[in-house]
Amino acid sequence: MAPLKGKTIVFTGFRDKELQERIVAKGGRVASAISQHTDIVIASTVKSAKAVKAREQGVRVMNRAEFDAEFFSSSFKHYLTHDNGGRSFKVCFDSRRFWVFKPSSPDDDVTSYDAVAVKPTPYTRVFIGRSPLNERTRFSGAYGPKFDGNSMLFEIAPRRYMFVGHCIRLFNSTEPIEKFVSPVGNSDVPYPYAIDRSGHVYMLLEEVVLTVV
């Protein structure tokens, strides 16, 4: 949970008295207009005049869900997925729900993930894609904690999963998934795969399932 103390927040496009009170209670300040002291703008739409002005001035623009996740969830974590050198999605999650954000347009600065790709979604298990040291990653040099979260997998119902990596995909497994690995190869391309209880391998980049015979 990130600290709010000393930060100045501006709302645009909506009002939320309860949220304003929570911000003040945590040591933040709510202002009505953007100034040189503004730290964050919470926008109902990233294309509003205030949001555009804020981004031009280098002020961080967030939507309500992203703000809640980062500043009011004690178990909040986030990762950027890797995609051939790019960072397609920002994945945020706490102990119960996850959110996915993307830039509002392909030309946006990759530091501005202000468009909702997946609304807050409950999950029962999260798999953080890690890139271990193996033959492929030794050659690419892309292994270790720096590459944690290069892709993500969430169990949202029994044998029902959402993959977030170079794309967002829903799929069903034959048996519950027990392992998820996401080794990163050359050009920062992840090769994620999942293994279920029966040993079936789900190749998520290739969209292929390898069946045990």
**Average pLDDT in the chain:** 90
Give the pLDDT confidence score for residue 186 in this predicted structure: 96
Give the pLDDT confidence score for residue 143 in this predicted structure: 98
Give the pLDDT confidence score for residue 103 in this predicted structure: 82
Q: Is the per-residue pLDDT at 39 higher than 70?
A: yes
Across-strand partners of 202?
194, 209
- Tell me the pLDDT band of 126, cut-offs 50, 70 and 90: very high
Structural domains of the chain sorted by starting position, each given as residue range(s) with its CATH number in brackets: 1-72 (3.40.50.10190), 76-213 (no CATH)
The answer to whether 166 and 81 are in contact (CB under 8 A) is yes
Over range 84-98, report the average pLDDT: 90
Distance CA 162, CA 110 (A): 23
| Residue labelled with tokens 């980062």 | 70
Q: Which of 19, 60, 66 is nearest to 40 (CA)?
A: 60
The answer to whether 38 and 31 are in contact (CB under 8 A) is yes
pTM: 0.73
Sheet containing 115-122: give its strands across. 77-80, 90-93, 97-102, 115-122
Across-strand partners of 92?
78, 99
Tokens of 43: 């926008």
Give the pLDDT confidence score for residue 106 in this predicted structure: 64
